[in-house]
């Protein structure tokens, strides 16, 4: 396997007015070249901060734990230790944009309103591809065409506010891809769009990924989307990965109660009459992390005396699969 | 079964319980309590509040705290320097603070008589001494003063002006005038803003456009020249009281547009909220809808704006009186007092005449800090400092 | 863009019209009228007793007995068509003579002040936001609070005192004595520049304090915007990123409040002028008010306000130029 990125023991803490909080604890995952990793979890589970840590985009109030290891295999064959990069390093600048591209949830806010789409694309192309003037502009137009924007020659000079939401998200994708990254991080790229546009953008991303041979980390809170796009999936809950593995297997045979809950919450055409079962309860805030297993407060199968005592460890289950649950461990021990 | 659960559940520690109770109190607290809690955390704002409280207190009871009346003259001590109470001098120490008396001698150069301290004469400072009779709060006759010196002498903590009037006493009276003018000005501009902004924001449409235009015109004319124009029109023969009320009216008349704009835009933004529409459909009168349904939703913002507009009132009053277009003697305000301090010569020769300026700075600073503290407390999502 | 400019232009004319009514109202406000004051001035010290009939005659001669709206019309049409602001009674000469080149002096002072204000407040405000929470930021915050609390005449006095101490007595006023009444020449202009910095500094003081806070607050906001994070995620170098993304937007509120700054500066002008002995419109305005020479006062008030309105227009245009959303009417 050709590992492009591997993350081990990622823990992130924030200094806040109410004291320190640690919304991400001991997260490990990896992405292979040309493959897609889906990260799924409810709002506040720490998906965005984890990926921001990969690009060193966290604010000054954030700190990584010393055990954190993030290794990235660059295009030139060198391995970059992301956690050791200094803010002004050239390597960090190359990594941002040139190696890893990023798309955010709100396409409107990701563009600066006072520059044209083209201006922001050409800036990126100049920085990472060493192209100037005419050539950079041509490439920008080409990228816009590639993401399915009609009459890209005129669109390139338009401002973000002149575009519709779907078009802006396409432009955002073009912007991220214009520097030719080997890995694209898409943080809920479709949540702000309406359903039909969502499907189009999703299709577009899948096609682009195949054509460009890019790897991708796709963040969403919708397992249905994951099923369409991801090769592997990691399920996050309250700052830890509770289950991960190949998408098909995880969906077919979920091992963690939380994953099962998420699956039951997906509406399906053939079960329209059945009531949806959302996962009960609310996700606790990181400052009030339950003792023991973080999910125990909402888990229908929690065992008193076991789940509230110690946090479960991650247990490998077959090739590339792992789960973090006392019940599973107990069942295995019994077997 | 429940008992069993209870037993199994890890016992809540005391710290946890305290934390939970704190949280519960927090959720149950009213909006105002919350604002007060957040405000209390602002140290600078609390300090500002304390300063304002002290000023208001001293000003309100100026007849008691000031040793002399606002126009009382000490002909023996013109342009006299501040007299700081001391405990020791060349003749030894005493437990009771004292000042040196003065004697008059002729200046060898100008041949004018002037007062010089007499180091051999001690005037002891006493509290609750008998002084000029006055009426506390305008009706309560008193003749006791907070402090004074014995032996029929006079104490001028902050010196005297060219007429021999006590700067300390006058500053206290001025504090009352200046603060009260600020309050009245703010109240008047608030009432105007409420009516005008309310009408514009509630009705919208053409009424709004017209009012907006007029507001715009008043905002565009430079403030102090506008004040001056209005103040210049006050007949010269008006009494002090008439001028005083005219001043509050002028300050109020010029001050409303900013506030009115704020009220208008807030009203416009909630005009189509469901609960307002519902009240309208139910046939409630506009004034009632504005008063009971719309205003309460942004009272805290209005209060913040009111507090923030104080400094402008105070600075404007000071500036106008300073150039002779505001209050006129014998009325005394900070600005009137500073009229005597218009030249560099004063800085060199009688710098204590600038003491009222320190009050202006302090009051403006305090109002600004309180306003900022209130704003942060009322809107926790505004810029977190 | 043409439409945008035209709209603003029309708005400006309408505002100016309403302003002129307001100014006329203020001119008419003091008790008594021009005829009273004129008669008093003309005959005072001559031993002639002024009778009601004499005043009435002057009033009729000058057309002051006609209704207010007609007199307003005369006044404003005189200004617009002939540049005639009427007579200054205390000088017994047309207002335009009294104003002379004071308008230009005032404009010079205004632009010097604006220059200082923006040259100081924009870079320092941006710096404070980037270094948020540092000692420098804290110090600047304290400064701007103090800056807003210090009455300008007090600052003027302090500055005058310091200047007298360190630079000798020639500071204060707008010209050295030998240039006061001299015709314009290069030497005179240079003399003016040498005198201008002190009043400009005093007038800029509170504007700086105010804009510093505005720039710092907007810049802090902008720094946390997703567009800045997104640009950083594209690998834009940090310094360039700060200038191109947040700083560019942080000056928008400054640009949009240029008119407000001019208003603030003109508002302080008469008082600062009185303390510093400046001989321009602010000083003249104060004297005119004290003398109740309302034709002069009205002319100056109208001029100052017109300058503000024009600067508002300029600020609108600049903002439209800076921000495509406004230009395109989004
Ligand atoms: N700058 C910050 N300071 C303090 N806490 C933060 C900060 N940024 C994020 N957090 C905390 O980290 C937690 C995880 O946030 P994150 O944005 O990663 O969630 P998410 O999984 O992406 O959710 P969503 O689906 O809503 O985007 C949140 O609970 C939040 O309180
Ligand atoms: Mg997120």
| Model confidence pLDDT, tens digit, residues B57-69 | 998 888 888 888 8
pLDDT of residue C262: 93
Do B295 and B148 reside in the same domain of the chain? no
* Helical spans, DSSP H, in A213-315: 223-229, 247-252, 257-264
Do C172 and C263 reside in the same domain of the chain? yes
Q: What is the number of the ligand 1 atom nearest to the C-alpha of A47?
A: 21
Do B186 and B326 reside in the same domain of the chain? yes
Do C44 and C60 reside in the same domain of the chain? yes
CA B179 – CA B181 distance, rounded (Å) = 5
| Model confidence pLDDT, tens digit, residues C182-240 | 777 777 777 777 778 888 988 998 889 889 988 998 898 888 888 999 999 998 998 89
CA C33 – CA C102 distance, rounded (Å) = 26
* B4 in a structural domain: no
Of B112, B141, B164, which residue constitutes the final position of a domain?
B164
Do C74 and C134 reside in the same domain of the chain? no
* C285 in a structural domain: no
CA-closest candidate to residue B381, choices B310, B292, B276, B300: B300
Do C64 and C106 reside in the same domain of the chain? no
CA B76 – CA B85 distance, rounded (Å) = 19
B21 CA distance to ligand 1 middle (Å): 26
CATH top-level class of A1-99+219-268+276-335: alpha beta
* B40 in a structural domain: no
Q: Which of C226, C237, C238 sits opposite A106 (nearest CB)?
A: C226
Q: What percent of chain C has pLDDT over 90?
A: 19
Ligand nearest to the CA of A46: 1
- Report the pLDDT averaged over residues C280-284: 83
* B26 in a structural domain: no
- Report the pLDDT averaged over residues B249-267: 83
| Model confidence pLDDT, tens digit, residues B226-246 | 888 888 888 878 888 888 888
Instruction: Confirm or reject contact between B5 and chain A (CB < 8 A).
Output: yes
Which tokens go with B116?
């010089």
A193 CA distance to ligand 2 middle (Å): 15
Of B164, B197, B226, which residue constitutes the final position of a domain?
B164
pLDDT of residue C98: 81
Q: What letters, b where the CB count within 10 A reaches 16 and e where it falls short, cover A146-177? A: bbbbeebeebbebbbebbeebbbbbbbbbbbb
Residues within a 6 A CB radius of ligand 1: A 14, 16, 23, 41, 43-49, 59, 61, 221, 285-286
* B86 in a structural domain: yes
**φ, ψ of residue B61 in degrees (nearest 5):** -105, 35
**Rounded to a whole number, what is the distance in Å from the CA of A147 to chain B's nearest CA?**
38
CA B352 – CA B345 distance, rounded (Å) = 12
Do B273 and B213 reside in the same domain of the chain? yes
> Could you identify the residue written with the tokens 């991801």?
A230
The radius of gyration of chain C from alpha carbons, rounded to an integer in Å, stands at 24
Of the residues A14, A284, A304, the best mutation for testing chain B's interface (the one with the most B CB atoms within 10 Å of its CB) is: A304
A48 CA distance to ligand 1 middle (Å): 7
Do C81 and C107 reside in the same domain of the chain? no
pLDDT of residue B29: 64
pLDDT of residue B5: 43
Predicted confidence (pLDDT) at residue B10 exceeds the cutoff of 50: no
Q: Indicate the number of domains in chain B.
A: 2
Q: What percent of chain B has pLDDT over 90?
A: 6
| Model confidence pLDDT, tens digit, residues C295-307 | 888 899 999 999 9
Return the residue whose CA atom lies nearest to atom 19 of ligand 1.
A44
A322 CA distance to ligand 1 middle (Å): 25
- Report the pLDDT averaged over residues B288-300: 74
Q: What is the number of CB-based contacts under 8 A between chain B and chain C?
A: 131
* B231 in a structural domain: yes
> Could you identify the residue written with the tokens 């990584």?
A64
Do C138 and C161 reside in the same domain of the chain? yes
> Domain range holding B110?
71-164
DSSP for C184-236? P-HHHHHHHHHHHHHHHHHHHHHHHHHHHHHHHHHHHHHHTSHHHHHHHHTT-
Do B236 and B355 reside in the same domain of the chain? yes
CA B157 – CA B170 distance, rounded (Å) = 11
| Model confidence pLDDT, tens digit, residues C33-67 | 777 777 777 776 677 777 777 778 877 777 777 78
Chain A residues whose C-beta is within 8 A of a chain C C-beta are 52, 55, 57, 59, 87-88, 93-98, 101-102, 104, 106, 109-116, 120, 123-124, 127-128, 159, 161-162, 175-176, 179
How would residue C133 be classed by pLDDT, with cut points 50, 70 and 90? confident
* C153 in a structural domain: yes
pLDDT of residue A272: 57
Q: Indicate the number of domains in chain C.
A: 2
How would residue B19 be classed by pLDDT, with cut points 50, 70 and 90? low
Do C117 and C53 reside in the same domain of the chain? no
**Rounded to a whole number, what is the distance in Å from the CA of A16 to chain C's nearest CA?**
14
> Could you identify the residue written with the tokens 């020479």?
C293
With contacts defined as CB-CB under 8 Å, which chain C residues touch B315?
Answer: 151
* B383 in a structural domain: no
C183 CA distance to ligand 1 middle (Å): 70
Residues B284/B288/B291/B295 CA torsion (nearest 10 deg): 20
Residues of chain A with pLDDT under 50: none
Q: Which of C151, C269, C300 sits opposite B360 (nearest CB)?
A: C151
> Domain range holding C239?
102-278
**Rounded to a whole number, what is the distance in Å from the CA of B369 to chain C's nearest CA?**
8
pLDDT of residue A235: 94
Average the pLDDT over each of A74-88, B19-33, B117-131 and give the range with the smallest value: B19-33
> Could you identify the residue written with the tokens 């109660």?
A257
Do C127 and C181 reside in the same domain of the chain? yes
pTM for the model: 0.82
Peptide bond into C94 cis (omega under 30): no
* C290 in a structural domain: no
Do B237 and B363 reside in the same domain of the chain? yes
**Rounded to a whole number, what is the distance in Å from the CA of A286 to chain B's nearest CA?**
16
SS3 A146: helix
Do C114 and C95 reside in the same domain of the chain? no
Ligand nearest to the CA of A42: 1
Return the residue whose CA atom lies nearest to atom 22 of ligand 1.
A48
Do C79 and C116 reside in the same domain of the chain? no
Do B301 and B182 reside in the same domain of the chain? yes
Nearest CA in chain B to A16: B384
SS3 C140: helix
pLDDT of residue A1: 56
How would residue B7 be classed by pLDDT, with cut points 50, 70 and 90? very low
**Rounded to a whole number, what is the distance in Å from the CA of A203 to chain B's nearest CA?**
38
Predicted confidence (pLDDT) at residue B9 exceeds the cutoff of 60: no
pLDDT of residue C29: 84
Of B164, B188, B205, which residue constitutes the final position of a domain?
B164
| Model confidence pLDDT, tens digit, residues C20-42 | 998 988 888 887 777 777 777 77
Which tokens go with A278?
């959302």
pLDDT of residue B280: 77
* C296 in a structural domain: no
Do C235 and C140 reside in the same domain of the chain? yes
Q: What angle do CA B90, B91, B96 make, to 5 degrees?
A: 105
- Report the pLDDT averaged over residues C84-112: 83
Average the pLDDT over each of A34-43, B271-280, C263-272 and give the range with the smallest value: B271-280
Return the residue whose CA atom lies nearest to atom 24 of ligand 1.
A43
Do C126 and C231 reside in the same domain of the chain? yes
Determine if residue B151 is left, alpha or beta; phi over 0 gives left, psi from -120 to 50 gives alpha, anything else beta: left
**φ, ψ of residue C255 in degrees (nearest 5):** -60, -40
Do B151 and B277 reside in the same domain of the chain? no
pLDDT of residue B3: 43
* C326 in a structural domain: no
pLDDT of residue A119: 92
Global ipTM: 0.86
Of C43, C68, C99, which residue constitutes the final position of a domain?
C99
Which residues are within 8 A (CB) of A187 and not within 5 positions of it... i.e. 6 or more apart? A47, A48, A51, A102, A103, A104, A105, A219
CA-closest candidate to residue B364, choices B323, B306, B310: B310
Do B76 and B135 reside in the same domain of the chain? yes
Determine if residue C183 is left, alpha or beta; phi over 0 gives left, psi from -120 to 50 gives alpha, anything else beta: beta
Ligand nearest to the CA of A239: 1
Determine if residue B106 is left, alpha or beta; phi over 0 gives left, psi from -120 to 50 gives alpha, anything else beta: beta
Chain B residues whose C-beta is within 8 A of a chain C C-beta are 213-214, 216-226, 228-233, 235, 311, 315, 318-319, 322-325, 338, 341-344, 347-348, 354, 357, 360-362, 364-365, 368-369, 383
Predicted confidence (pLDDT) at residue C330 exceeds the cutoff of 60: no
CA C135 – CA C132 distance, rounded (Å) = 9
> Could you identify the residue written with the tokens 């006609």?
C66
CA B114 – CA B80 distance, rounded (Å) = 9
Do B309 and B180 reside in the same domain of the chain? yes
Run of H or E including A103: strand A100-103
pLDDT of residue A37: 94
CA B364 – CA B315 distance, rounded (Å) = 8
């Amino acid at each position: 396997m050709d590992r492009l990125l591997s993350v081990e023991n990622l823990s992130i803490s924030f200094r806040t007015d109410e004291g320190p909080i640690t919304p991400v604890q001991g997260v490990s995952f990896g992405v292979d070249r040309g493959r897609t990793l889906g990260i799924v979890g409810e709002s506040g589970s720490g998906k965005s901060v984890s990926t921001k840590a990969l690009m060193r985009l966290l604010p000054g109030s954030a700190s990584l734990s010393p055990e954190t290891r993030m290794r990235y295999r660059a295009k030139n064959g060198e391995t970059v230790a992301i956690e050791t990069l200094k803010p002004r390093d050239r390597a960090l600048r190359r990594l941002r944009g040139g190696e890893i591209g990023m798309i955010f949830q709100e396409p409107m806010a990701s563009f600066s309103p006072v520059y044209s789409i083209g201006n922001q694309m050409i800036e990126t192309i100049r920085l990472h591809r060493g192209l100037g003037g005419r050539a950079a502009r041509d490439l920008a137009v080409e990228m816009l065409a590639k993401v399915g924007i009609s009459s890209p020659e005129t669109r390139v000079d338009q401002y973000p506010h002149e575009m519709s939401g779907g078009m802006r998200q396409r432009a955002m994708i073009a912007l991220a891809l214009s520097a030719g990254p080997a890995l694209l991080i898409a943080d809920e790229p479709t949540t702000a769009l309406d359903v039909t546009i969502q499907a189009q953008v999703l299709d577009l991303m899948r096609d682009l990924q195949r054509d460009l041979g890019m790897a991708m980390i796709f963040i969403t809170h919708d397992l249905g989307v994951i099923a369409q796009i991801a090769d592997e999936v990691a399920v996050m809950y309250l700052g830890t990965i509770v289950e991960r593995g190949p998408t098909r297997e995880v969906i077919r045979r979920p091992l963690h109660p939380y994953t099962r809950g998420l699956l039951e919450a997906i509406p399906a055409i053939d079960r329209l009459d059945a009531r949806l079962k959302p996962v009960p309860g609310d996700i606790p805030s990181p400052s009030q992390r339950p003792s023991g297993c973080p999910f125990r407060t909402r888990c229908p199968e929690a065992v008193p005396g076991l789940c509230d005592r110690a946090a479960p460890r991650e247990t490998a289950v077959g090739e590339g699969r792992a789960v973090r649950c006392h019940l599973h461990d107990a069942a295995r021990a019994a077997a | 079964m429940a008992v069993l659960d209870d037993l199994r559940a890890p016992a809540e520690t005391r710290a946890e319980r305290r934390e939970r109770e704190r949280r519960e109190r927090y959720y149950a607290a009213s909006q105002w309590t919350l604002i007060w809690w957040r405000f209390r955390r602002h140290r600078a704002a609390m300090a500002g509040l304390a300063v304002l409280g002290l000023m208001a207190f001293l000003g309100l009871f100026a007849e008691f705290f000031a040793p002399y009346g606002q126009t009382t003259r000490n002909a023996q001590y013109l342009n006299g320097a501040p007299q700081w109470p001391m405990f020791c001098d060349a003749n030894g120490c005493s437990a009771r603070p004292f000042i040196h008396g003065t004697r008059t001698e002729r200046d060898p150069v100008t041949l004018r008589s002037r007062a010089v301290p007499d180091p051999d004469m001690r005037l002891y400072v006493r509290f609750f001494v008998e002084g000029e009779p006055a009426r506390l709060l305008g009706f309560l006759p008193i003749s006791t003063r907070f402090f004074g010196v014995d032996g029929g002498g006079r104490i001028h903590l902050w010196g005297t002006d060219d007429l021999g009037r006590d700067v300390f006493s006058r500053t206290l009276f001025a504090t009352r005038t200046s603060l009260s003018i600020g309050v009245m000005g703010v109240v008047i501009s608030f009432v105007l803003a409420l009516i005008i902004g309310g009408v514009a924001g509630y009705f919208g449409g053409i009424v709004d456009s017209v009012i907006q235009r007029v507001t715009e015109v008043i905002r565009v004319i430079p403030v102090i020249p506008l004040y001056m124009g209005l103040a210049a029109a006050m007949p010269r023969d008006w009494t002090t009281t008439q001028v005083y009320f005219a001043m509050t009216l002028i300050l109020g008349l010029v001050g409303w547009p900013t506030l009115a704009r704020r009220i208008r835009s807030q009203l416009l933004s909630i005009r189509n909220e469901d609960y307002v529409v519902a009240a309208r459909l139910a046939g409630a009168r506009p004034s009632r809808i504005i008063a009971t349904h719309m205003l309460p939703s942004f009272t805290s913002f209005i209060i913040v704006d009111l507090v923030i507009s104080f400094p402008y009132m105070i600075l404007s009053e000071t500036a106008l009186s300073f150039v002779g277009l505001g209050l006129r003697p014998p009325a005394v305000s900070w600005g009137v007092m500073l009229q005597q301090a218009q030249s560099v010569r004063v800085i060199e020769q009688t710098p204590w005449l600038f003491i009222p300026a320190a009050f202006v700075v302090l009051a403006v600073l305090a109002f600004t800090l309180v306003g900022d503290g209130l704003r942060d407390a009322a809107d926790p999502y505004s810029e977190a400092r | 863009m043409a439409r945008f400019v035209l709209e603003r232009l029309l708005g400006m004319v309408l505002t100016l019209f309403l302003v002129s009514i307001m100014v006329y109202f203020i001119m008419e406000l003091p008790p008594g009228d021009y005829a009273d004051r004129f008669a008093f001035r003309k005959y005072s010290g001559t031993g002639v007793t002024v009778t009601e009939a004499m005043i009435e005659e002057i009033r009729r001669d000058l057309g002051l007995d006609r209704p207010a709206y007609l007199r307003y019309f005369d006044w404003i049409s005189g200004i617009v068509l002939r540049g005639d602001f009427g007579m200054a009674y205390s000088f017994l000469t047309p207002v335009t003579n009294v104003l002379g080149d004071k308008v230009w002096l005032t404009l010079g002072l205004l632009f010097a002040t604006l220059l200082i204000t923006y040259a100081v407040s924009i870079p320092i405000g941006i710096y404070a936001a980037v270094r948020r929470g540092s000692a420098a930021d804290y110090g600047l915050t304290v400064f701007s609070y103090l800056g807003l609390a210090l009455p300008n005449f007090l600052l003027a006095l302090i500055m005058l005192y310091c200047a007298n101490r360190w630079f000798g007595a020639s500071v204060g006023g707008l010209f050295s004595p030998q240039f006061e009444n001299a015709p314009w020449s290069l030497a005179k202009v240079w003399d003016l520049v040498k005198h201008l910095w002190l009043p400009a500094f005093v007038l800029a003081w509170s504007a700086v304090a105010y804009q510093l806070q505005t720039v710092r607050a907007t810049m802090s906001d902008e720094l946390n915007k997703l567009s800045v994070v997104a640009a950083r995620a594209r690998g834009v170098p940090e310094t360039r990123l700060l200038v191109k993304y947040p700083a560019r937007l942080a000056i928008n509120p400054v640009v949009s409040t240029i008119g407000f700054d001019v208003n603030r500066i003109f508002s302080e002008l008469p008082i600062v002028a009185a303390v510093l002995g400046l001989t321009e419109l602010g000083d003249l305005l104060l004297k005119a008010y004290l003398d109740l020479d309302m034709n002069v006062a009205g002319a100056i008030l109208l001029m100052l306000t017109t300058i503000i309105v024009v600067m508002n227009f300029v600020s609108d245009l600049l903002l439209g130029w800076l921000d495509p959303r406004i230009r395109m009417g989004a």
